[in-house]
């Protein structure tokens, strides 16, 4: 019975089901959008997070992900909750 449970737990979700988690590209886009809305130069954000501007550019374009401490630093810099960079919505749409 345990082997069946393990197989069920390891079965990936159907591809038609959208993950509630943001992709690397979506996180980068959200950071870029927030930065531009607040009129913060990319260089300033990069320095606050401890990155060089080219690293921040790659994050915003989705080419590079963030380490946990970098993501925490971005959220703290903007004064937002960390979860806004992790999940698509805090409230599920009604069906």
Who has greater pLDDT, 3 or 34? 34
Cα distances from 7 to residues 1, 10, 12, 30, 90, in angstroms, run 10, 5, 10, 35, 30
Supply the pLDDT for residue 93.
47
pTM higher than the cut 0.85:
no
SS (H, E, C) 30-69: HHHHHHHHCCCCHHHHHHHHCCCHHHHHHHHCCCCCCCHH
Supply the pLDDT for residue 95.
42
What mean pLDDT is predicted for residues 33-52? Answer: 97
Cα distances from 40 to residues 35, 37, 86, in angstroms, run 5, 8, 22
């Amino acid at each position: 019975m345990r082997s069946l449970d393990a197989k069920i737990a390891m079965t990936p979700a159907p591809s038609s089901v959208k993950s509630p988690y943001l992709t690397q590209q979506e996180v980068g886009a959200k950071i870029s959008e927030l930065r531009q809305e607040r009129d913060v130069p990319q260089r300033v954000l990069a320095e606050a997070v401890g990155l060089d501007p080219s690293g921040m550019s790659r994050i915003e374009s989705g080419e590079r992900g963030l380490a946990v401490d970098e993501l925490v630093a971005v959220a703290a810099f903007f004064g937002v909750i960390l979860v806004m960079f992790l999940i698509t919505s805090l409230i599920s749409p009604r069906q």
